[in-house]
Chains A and B, each alone.
Chain A
Amino acid sequence: MSRFAETTVLESPARAPSPLDRPPIVLDVNDLTIRNSIGNAELVKRVSFSLRRGQTLGIVGESGSGKTLTVRAVLGILPRLLEQSSGTIDILGRRTSEFSKHDWVDVRGNTISAVFQDPGSYLNPSIWLGRQVTEVLRVKKGLSRKDAKAETLRLFEAVHLRNPQLVYEQFTHELSGGMLQRVLIAIAIALDPEVLIADEATTALDVTVQAEILDLLQELQETQGLSLVVISHDLAVVAQLSDEVLVMRSGEIVEHGLAKQVLRHPRHEYTQLLITEHERFGLEHFIGSERREASVG
């Protein structure tokens, strides 16, 4: 909540931002290369981007483009046979290559968190959902059992779950995909992190639910001062939320720029291909909406 105040001072519409008070960089990735340790194939090649506080970075690309591997490297959860062979990742100025296990545990949840596709599978099926939230609050924030429960219910309301008391005691198999994603988001913001990564967070959800979740993410960004990284193969999803867009293909960035620029005047032919394919689903509707104009301060 305190960061909310900061953001209004920096980005209130009354004052046009000058280069001097551009928000600080919260996540900085430079020349990241990820390699398969057997066979030596490079799956992510020299990817670079910066995420500033309060902004949304969208990463779009098809399966195999390397977008998920990139964020997994940022989170420190690359699968066993893959390694970061070169490049650097800085989270709030700290270099992740120097992180010990303890540092990672510290950073995850507190500074950087994530939600994924198929939210139910990322939650323990045998424990009450509410308890999984309180676990995080008690272990990492030191809250008492009572306070943790109260905070959990508050978080459930913040993500617009209709019956927080009930959801608290339910299991994953008793909820729908949209509700589970809300729970996952609630856990992700529980510790008030700086960065929230949403990796295909709305894929596999119904279209109406997709829209609700995207709205929720945007709302939380504004109330919590989150910086978002939104990853999707769906250009529309990325377009709705992002300030900046990254287009990836086969492990490389083929286009990078402000959302409006990239989507209206794409330079790379691959981006053009993606856009023309999405035009059938009314992409301009998102690009040209007032909401987009107003929020890009």
Chain B
Amino acid sequence: MIKNVWRLTSGRIALVVLAIIVFLAIFGPLLAPYQPNDSVGPQLTGPSAKHLLGTDYIGRDVLSRLLTGAGLSILGALLVAAIALVFGAVPGVLSVYLGRTFEWITLRVIDTLIALPFLVFAVAMTALLGNGVFQALFAVGFLLAPVFYRVSRAATLSVAHSQYVEAATLSGASTGWIVRKHVWSKVAPPVAISLSTTIGTGLVVIASLTFLSIGVSPPKATWGGLLATDLQYIAIQPYAPIVPIALILITVLMCNVLADAVRDTAGEAGRQLLNAKAAKKVARKAARRGQPGLVEGVASVEASAVPVPVPALHRESKELHDEPVR
């Protein structure tokens, strides 16, 4: 699946940027020039050679705080998505197999979770359960589970009683083979899409919580916490919030782009899209070597995206266009 996404330009960009961000999250504290909680310079200065992003109201280096804070925010987001996946996908898949009552109960619970105003409950859960990091991650993950419940349930339903699974079982294929070949290709893409978007959502929610000083107490550096203090001193340093905001937005954007890339390359339509791109590549190479006949077929390939060996494309696409309109 990742291989397919890589073939799309948008997918490539998303994967690269996200990889960089994760790298920063893991190695941020090591890369930071100063200790994030130490007062190392004059207060509220702008960007300078010594402090690339200036200092905050206590004199701490902003860049260092940003790099250190990346860890909590990004890795936290990943953890949140993982928790949501487990809490959602497990009941989702089981709901198809464990009978009517279980199904009805879980459906009602999920309906309720969707109806709950998200942040209010996240705040309440975190604070009431001890106001710690783990409570925060758990609360957010739990509240984001419905998406995975729905997606995994839908995917399981579409595969569970499908004929090709039954046929494969009858013809003696092993369960492992069935799962890998049929179930995985149906279930993995939607789950991957939801995973990508949930990571983005999770990041924003964690930033919101830390902004409110919930789940993490100062002086620990977090992106949200940084924004909170930036807001207080915004009259003096109006440009301060821009960098953390940009970081958050870029991450969320890349998560969405990744999700779109997975969606575009999944299933039948995805295979056609990739084949069309491959054909285009071949035709372009051929054109450069001077074979004009194949190039004409290229334009119609894009329109019809038919997965057929290249030389036949020209003929077939012409027929498609000549079909009489009723």
Contacts and interface: CB of A to CB of B under 8 A. Distances in A.
Direct contact of A and B (CB under 8 A): yes
Interface of A: 36, 39, 41, 43, 63-64, 68-69, 79, 81-82
A111 to B, nearest CB: 27
B324 A41 contact: yes
A222 B325 CA distance: 36
A36 B325 contact: yes
Contacts of A43: 324-325
Contacts of A41: 322, 324-325
Nearest to A41: B324
Contacts of A36: 324-325
A82 B326 contact: no
11 contacts: A36-B325, A39-B321, A39-B322, A41-B322, A41-B324, A43-B324, A64-B324, A64-B326, A68-B326, A79-B325, A82-B325
B300 to A, nearest CB: 12
A64 B323 CA distance: 11
Interface string B308-326: 0000000000000110111
Contacts of A39: 321-322
B322 A63 contact: no
A255 to B, nearest CB: 21
Interface of B: 321-322, 324-326
B326 A81 contact: no
A10 to B, nearest CB: 38
A43 B324 CA distance: 7
- Max chain B Cβ within 10 angstroms of own Cβ: one of A39, A69, A81: A39
A79 B324 CA distance: 13
Contacts of B322: 39, 41
A81 B325 CA distance: 10
A291 to B, nearest CB: 33
Nearest to B326: A64
Nearest to B321: A39
Contacts of B326: 63-64, 68-69
Contacts of B324: 36, 41, 43, 64
Nearest to B325: A36
A217 B326 CA distance: 26
A50 to B, nearest CB: 26
A27 B326 CA distance: 23
B305 to A, nearest CB: 19
* In the complex, the 6 A-B pairs of residues with the closest C-beta atoms, listed nearest first: A36-B325, A64-B326, A39-B321, A64-B324, A43-B324, A41-B324
B157 to A, nearest CB: 26
A82 B322 CA distance: 14
Contacts of A79: 325
Nearest to A79: B325
A64 B326 CA distance: 5
A80 to B, nearest CB: 11
Contacts of B325: 36, 41, 43, 79, 81-82
B7 to A, nearest CB: 32
A39 B320 CA distance: 11
A81 B323 CA distance: 14
Nearest to A68: B326
A41 B321 CA distance: 10
